[in-house]
Amino acid sequence: MIYILAVFLPPLGLLLNGQPFAALFNLVLLAVSVVLTVLTIFTLPVLMLLPSAHAVISIYMTRENRRHREIVEAIERHGPPPPGWRP
């Protein structure tokens, strides 16, 4: 659900994911993309995809970092897995 929001409303998706500075940067990126798209008389509409791509990639990376941190904390708390164990 957060990824759908990130595609259609990138700054809001980042803000709801707990990334206020990335949301602010994305808002500036969105404004620049809109201005450049309008100034080039809509010959570069691909610029409008940049804020959405930034939001999706940023949300994915943040979630992966959180997941990695949880695994590391679990290993530190409970010790390493037994020998020969595979996930």
pLDDT, tens digit (0-9, with 9 covering 90-100), for 58-83: 999 999 999 999 989 988 898 877 78
The angle subtended at Cα 35 by Cα 32 and Cα 39, nearest 5°, is 135
Q: How many domains does the chain have?
A: 1
SS3 content of the chain, % helix, strand, coil (to 5): 80, 0, 20
Say whether pTM exceeds 0.85.
Answer: no
pLDDT digits (tens, 9 = 90+) for 28-59: 999 999 998 888 887 777 888 999 999 999 99
Residue 84 lies in a domain: no
Residue 59 lies in a domain: yes
Residue 9 lies in a domain: yes
Do 55 and 30 form a contact (C-beta atoms < 8 A)? no
Residue 41 lies in a domain: yes
Residue 87 lies in a domain: no
